[in-house]
Each structure stands twice: as structure tokens, then as C-alpha cells.
Amino acid sequence: MPLVNTGDLLRDALAGGYAVGGFEPYTIDQIQAIIEVAEEERTPVILQFWSEVIETWGFPTLTCVARELAGRVSVPVALHLDHSLTEELAYQALESGFTSVMYDGSKLPLEENIARTRAVVARAKEFGATVEAELGLIGFLSDYATPEEALEAIKGMLTTPEQADFFVRATGIDILAPAIGSIHGCPLPMAELDIPRIRAISQVTGLPLALHGGSGVGEEQLRAAIGAGIAKVNVDAEVRSVYISALKAEVAAVGSGEKVYVDLARYPRGVRTATKEAVRKRMRMLRNTG
């Protein structure tokens, strides 16, 4: 089917008590793997790209592949721009046919973040698209010496329900990514989410909430978070590390036995199979398959 509006997808998820995965492809075979699993599992999915990936492939290739493959399956697929630090990139995504954009002004002073987010919201409306924004600071694991240090530090940067209420009213966003105890770039499930905080933010804003750093959240925590109002779960690090391991294994096998070179025609098959299973494992945790 044609690409769907991300906001519609997530409002349905919130009402239905499930979440939709925001998967982050870096390569064309990853786009293919994610859409194939979504169809096999009968689940909606969000394909999301961040600026470096767009820089590598360009909007025409990414939107062309995503739209074409989405058009061949019967499950809804949304196309999302992740963490845009500039309005310009967000506008380019909207013009290219993305069905939602995340404007990330979380490092700006609040007043400036609000003003810029409002402008992106107004532009997105012209395209019938929706806007996600981050409030509080979710942070990156790689910015800290140890995972323990990171998880301790982010406890001091969590979003309060009052801040969320104010920000949502001031900006008119459709999807909120609050800081709730997860962190970017963590491939192992070690985050401790603040579930009562998620519930309070959900109740006060009424919006679908996005969980960033989903790879670092275990299944039990994930289910509790979805029950409290999380409707979008971003998954990047976990699938990425599986993909890289499979790729390394292909390359490492060269020189042993009959493999004398990397078979460029066939290696993506094994890598894609491994990627698909990592995607499937996460999708099944979101309570929306079938």
C-alpha cells in the first residue's frame, strides 16, 4: 500500500495498546529485510533514516526504494526522518515524501526549541505529515566511560510531566520523545525505565510517546512501557550489531576452505537472513504482530 501517515499509525497503536517499531536501515538490503519481516509478521512498521544515512544515499534513492517496496506489501509502512538537527533537512524530507519528521532541538534553549519546532509543525501540516520532537536529553552511551556511568547520568535529565504538557501545548507536535531512562546506542538490555513517569506524561499530553534507544530495553520493561503509553519504539543498535557481525563472518570465511573471495552476488543473502531474525525478535516484543 502507499506510505502511511506516521501519526495515524501511532494513534491506532496507542488506542490498541501496542507499539510500532521505528527501525533504522543504513543500507538498501536492510530496508528490504525490515519490510519483508513486517509483511511476514503482519505488523505495521516505520522506516526511519538519520542525516548521515541520507547524506550517503540521497533522498531520491531512499524514498524511491522505500515507496516501491512498501507499495508491494499489505501492511502499513511509514517513512520517518530521525533526529533532524536543522529545519532545512526536515523540509527536504517532507518534500521527498517522508510521512513524518523528528525535529530535535533538545540541545537548544527551550524558547528557541519551541519556536523552531512550531515552524516545522506548520510546514509538516502542509504536507499532511506529522512531527516528533524530543524533550529532556536522551543522550548517547558512547559519551560516557561506562554503561553504569551513563545510566546514572541520564537519571538527572529525565522529562517531567509538567515540562511535557507545556512543550506539547506550545509546539503542537504529534509525537513526543521524552527522556525516560533509555539511552541511544546501547545494544544490550540494561536500561531502567521510569514507568510511572511514562504513564504520567502519556496522561497529561494524550500523545503517542516514542521510546528512543529501544535496543537497550529488555522485553519486560518494554511491555510495561507500552502499557504506560509508549507507541513507537526505535530500534537501531541491536539490529546494526547483528548485521555487522554477519558481514564480518562472511569476510572472515574468505581464505578458509573453498572461499577465496567475498561473493558479492550472494553475501547479502546470509547477512539479510541474520538481520531479519534480529528485526523479527524485536517486532514480536511490541505486541502488534498478527
Catalytic residues: 82
Q: For residues 184 and 197, which CB has a smaller minimum distance to Zn ion in the complex?
A: 184
Q: For residues 133 and 247, which CB has a smaller minimum distance to Zn ion in the complex?
A: 133
Query: What is the spatial distance between Cα 269 and Cα 53, in angstroms, rounded to a whole number?
Result: 22
Phi, psi of 125 (to 5 degrees): -60, -35
Interface region with Zn ion, contact rule CB under 5 A, candidates 55-63, 112-120, 161-169, 209-217: 209-217
Query: What is the spatial distance between Cα 147 and Cα 237, in angstroms, rounded to a whole number?
Result: 14
Q: For residues 212 and 240, which CB has a smaller minimum distance to Zn ion in the complex?
A: 212
Query: What is the spatial distance between Cα 183 and Cα 186, in angstroms, rounded to a whole number?
Result: 7
Shortest Å distance, C-beta 253 to Zn ion: 34
The count of chain residues that interact with Zn ion, using the rule CB under 5 A, is 1
What residue type is assigned to position 149 of the chain?
Answer: E
Shortest Å distance, C-beta 140 to Zn ion: 9
Q: How many Å separate Cα 186 from the centre of its chain?
A: 14
Shortest Å distance, C-beta 22 to Zn ion: 9
Interface region with Zn ion, contact rule CB under 5 A, candidates 90-98, 124-132, 155-163, 206-214: 206-214
Query: What is the spatial distance between Cα 178 and Cα 164, in angstroms, rounded to a whole number?
Result: 8
Q: Which of residues 128-167 bind Zn ion (CB under 5 A)?
A: none
- The helix, strand and coil proportions of the chain, stated in percent and rounded to the nearest 5, come to 55, 15, 30
Phi, psi of 176 (to 5 degrees): -115, 130
Shortest Å distance, C-beta 236 to Zn ion: 8
Cell of 131: 512531527
The correct pick among 11, 116, 197, 212 for binding Zn ion (CB under 5 A) is 212
Q: For residues 116 and 212, which CB has a smaller minimum distance to Zn ion in the complex?
A: 212
Contact 173, 205 (CB under 8 A): no
Q: For residues 178 and 268, which CB has a smaller minimum distance to Zn ion in the complex?
A: 178
Shortest Å distance, C-beta 210 to Zn ion: 8
Residues 6+ apart with CB under 8 A from 170: 114, 118
Q: Residue of minimal CB distance from Zn ion?
A: 212
Q: Which of 199, 162, 166, 193 is nearest to 180 (CA)?
A: 193
Q: Which of 156, 220, 152, 216 is nearest to 182 (CA)?
A: 216
Interface region with Zn ion, contact rule CB under 5 A, candidates 17-25, 205-213, 219-227, 270-278: 205-213
Shortest Å distance, C-beta 105 to Zn ion: 13
Q: For residues 173 and 271, which CB has a smaller minimum distance to Zn ion in the complex?
A: 173
> Residues 67-106: x/- map of binding to Zn ion (CB under 5 A)?
----------------------------------------
Q: Return residues touching Zn ion (CB under 5 A).
A: 212
